[in-house]
Amino acid sequence: MEDIIYVVGHKNPDTDSICSAIAYADLKKRLGGGVRVVPARIGEINRETEFVLSTFKLPVPMVLDTLKLQVQDLQLDRAITVSPEISVKTAWSLMQKHNAKTLPVIDDNGHLIGITTLSDITSKYMDMVDTNLLGVSDTPLQNVLETINARLLIGRATDFSPLGKILVAAMTPDRMAHWVDKNDIVITGNRLENQIEALKLGANCLIITGGAAEEMPELKRLAEENRSLVLVTPFDTFTTARLIPQSIPVKYLMTTRDLVAFNRDDFLDDIKDAMLSTRYRSYPVVDDENRVHGVVARYHLISQRKKKVILVDHNERSQCISTIDEAEILEIIDHHRVGDIQTGKPIFFKNEPLGSTSTIIGNLFFENGIRPSRSIAGILCSAILSDTLKFRSPTC
């Protein structure tokens, strides 16, 4: 997960609480450390605080609703998304290249419509005995061309209609009538008599293997009469027959029912049970519009770390966010009495009997030799005036 430190004040925040969080976050960033420091708040700001921030042109800190870990807090794996039309071979290649076991399938608008996994591909490929596979799966010609590295020698792509079966014409021409039917996809070597016979029998697509093929007049005439296609591939007949099933689109084998995907706002505690009850190694992470933002895997749950917080202007549990026990407290800066906060290890705890926490933070700027910007100095002064009742507080 990305290292983020939240600087947060107490519930029902006053001006000192909000301005302390903003100013201390600014100081931590200027001191460096390579960690993102974010000011936050618990609850709505009051009108006085709104006026101060508006005057010094500073944004209102984000609302911190919970310190429980959410999916969006993890360093998610990049999602390798695919179109439902790409071939199984392309999907397999992407999995090998990116060491991915799951590919989210998205539509043209980026919405999740399915998932294809390594096991989906391997199990389906091992069970591919349907010779009408290309027709059943509505495989586009482009997939076939890419899968077997073929070129279109004769015919028009729009005439491709793989409604028949796939077969290798290894028999003599006089025996082909027992095997070849109309609209079949026929694979054959550089044997002109077999090629001509296949087209005479109504093959929709003739695939010539070995790469050695010329546009013979008789072959061209028959193909044009039957509106058939002739493809040429450099692969041998065995390799071509083995690769052809890999041209089917992933939409034919992807999982579309009972999809297991997680929202970015889901808590990690909630997704554990879903992971335990399913077989997948990784899961898509989507937003409220079902757009994929990444992939979460089981190892993310093992390597999870707590959110990190710095408390300002309070150190009592009753004033903290309710899920404070889920977080790691790094520091406390306060001017109130010492409360009942407990930490798992020693922390930096600065507590002084001054009129405001902003006074302490202002001193920290000077102690570190850092000059606050005009806007930060402005909100610190405003918070001091507010919390000390215009310097009339007994702790001022």
Cα separation of 285 and 293, whole Å? 6
pLDDT above 90: residue 136: no
- Which residue in 265, 267, 271, 291 sits closest to 283, CA to CA? 271
pLDDT above 90: residue 275: no
Dihedral, 32, 35, 36, 37 alpha carbons, nearest 10: -70
Task: Give the mean pLDDT of the chain.
Answer: 90
Cα separation of 101 and 57, whole Å? 48
The two beta strands, 62-63 and 102-106, are unpaired
Dihedral, 225, 228, 231, 236 alpha carbons, nearest 10: -110
Amino acid at residue number 187: I
Q: Which pLDDT tens digit goes with each residue over 22-74? A: 999 999 999 988 889 999 999 999 999 999 999 999 999 999 999 998 898 88
For residue 111, the model assigns a pLDDT of: 94
Cα separation of 316 and 327, whole Å? 15
List C-alpha distances in Å: 64 to 41, 86, 104, 218, 268: 6, 42, 31, 76, 17
The two beta strands, 112-117 and 102-106, are antiparallel
Unique residue bearing structure tokens 């993310």: 300
Q: Which pLDDT tens digit goes with each residue over 77-125? A: 899 999 999 999 999 999 999 988 889 999 999 999 999 988 888 877 7
Domain residue limits, the chain: 4-67+306-387, 76-125+251-297, 140-237
End-to-end CA distance of the chain: 41
Amino acid at residue number 252: Y
Q: Which pLDDT tens digit goes with each residue over 332-353? A: 999 989 998 888 899 999 999 9
For residue 396, the model assigns a pLDDT of: 47
- Confirm or reject CATH 3.40.367.20 for domain 140-237, answering yes or no: no
Which band of pLDDT confidence, cut at 50, 70 and 90, is reported for residue 392? low
DSSP string, 121-159: HHHHHHT---TTHHHHTT--HHHHHHHTT-EEEES-GGG
E-assigned strands of 60-101? Answer: 62-63
Instruction: Read off φ and ψ for residue 315, nearest 5 degrees.
Output: -155, 30
List C-alpha distances in Å: 361 to 33, 223, 224, 233, 311: 18, 84, 84, 73, 12
For residue 303, the model assigns a pLDDT of: 67
Amino acid at residue number 48: E
Q: Which pLDDT tens digit goes with each residue over 209-253? A: 998 777 788 888 999 899 999 999 999 999 999 999 999 999 998
For residue 197, the model assigns a pLDDT of: 92
CATH of domain 76-125+251-297: 3.10.580.10
pTM (whole model) above 0.95: no
- Which residue in 108, 116, 115, 112 sits closest to 291, CA to CA? 112
Its CATH architecture, for the domain 4-67+306-387, is Alpha-Beta Complex (3.90)
